[in-house]
Amino acid sequence: MSRDNKKFSFEDIPGWVHLVFIGIIVLVIAFSIFKLVRWNMGTAELDTSDTGSLEVEVLDQVFLLTDDKKAGHEYDDEETILFLGNDALTYDASETGVANQIGSKLGATVINCGFPGSTVANKNTEFSDDYKLDAYSFVNVVNSMVSGDFSRMEECASSFDDYAYTSTSWELKNVDMNKVDTIVIYYNAQDYLNMRVGMNPDNEYDPVTYRGALNSGIKALQEKYPYIRIVCLSFTMCYAYDSNGQIVSGDRVDFGNGKLTHIFSL
């Protein structure tokens, strides 16, 4: 058989070619691992303030406290985290719940002040006894914290069978905010399920909209407690019933004010 008609065989490839090929694969894998580890370290830095090494994800937005915000406040050696939210916190308030797991991982003291069924935004512009759950919305809870007036929360608590409204109102009222280092805001998709409006383009602090209530509450917390860092956790996954009565993902159903991902991405 002539050389031109000889069939190709991997055995004909010189050994050094195999070594080069394997070396390239190893280098690519090593480089990928290096980039992943370096990216996951996520160093955040501000020009005129604090710096920190944080574990971050692509969609995380990190704003570190500037020195002027922390000026005059005496920090102790214990990390104290106050959680504000709804069923995302109250569904499991045991050691396996999200608040206590975070506390265990960080070695921090956690205060779980979640109110079942509550939302970020109010249902009504003005509070009405016809819908007392508004007393425990994020924006109204913050208003009570900032003003120091918890009377409405305490009065409305007796309207609910769940004693959590009474006990949590009392606990929140007695929190020593001078010892709180971090406030975590963690709500599930109740705003979407209760058809709260996403935003008001004419009023970025509108309390009956999700974005407005969140803006208003965070702004009030920052003004009252400038030394406390604020963390907003992403909402949890949610299913909803479509027009045919089928259970589908919340990002596929629009109740009139937008789909799940639209409401919470504003």
Model confidence at 216, pLDDT cuts 50, 70, 90, reads very high
The whole model's pTM is what? Answer: 0.74
Cα distance from N-terminal residue to C-terminal residue, the chain: 73
Query: How does residue 205 score in pLDDT terms, banded at 50, 70 and 90?
Result: very high
Measured CA to CA, the distance from residue 75 to residue 178 in angstroms comes to: 8
Question: Which helix (H) or strand (E) covers residue 260, if one does?
Answer: helix 260-264
CA 142 to chain centre: 17
Within 10 angstroms of residue 245's Cβ, the number of other Cβ atoms is 6
Pairing between strand 239-241 and 229-232? unpaired
Q: CB of 154 within 8 A of CB of 115?
A: no
- pLDDT of 82 > 90? The answer is yes
CA separation for the pair 258, 198 (Å, rounded): 8
Sign of the dihedral through C-alpha 100, 102, 105, 111: negative
Q: Where are the domains of the chain?
A: 79-236
CATH topology of domain 79-236: Rossmann fold (3.40.50)
CA atoms within 13 A on the CB side of 68: 3
Bigger pLDDT: 199 vs 55 = 199
Residue 164 to residues 4, 93, 119, 231, 250, Cα–Cα distance (Å): 86, 11, 16, 23, 28
Relative to beta strand 182-186, strand 80-85 is parallel
DSSP-derived pairing of the beta strands 239-241 and 247-249: antiparallel
Find the range with the poorest average confidence among 15-29, 61-75, 131-145.
61-75
Q: How many angstroms separate the Cα of 23 from the Cα of each of 29, 120, 227? A: 10, 55, 52
Structure confidence at residue 49 (pLDDT): 47
pLDDT at 144: 97
**Residue 230 is encoded by which pair of tokens?**
């604020």
pLDDT tens by residue, 121-163: 999 999 999 999 999 999 999 999 999 999 999 999 999 999 9
Half-sphere exposure of 42 (CA within 13 A, CB side): 11
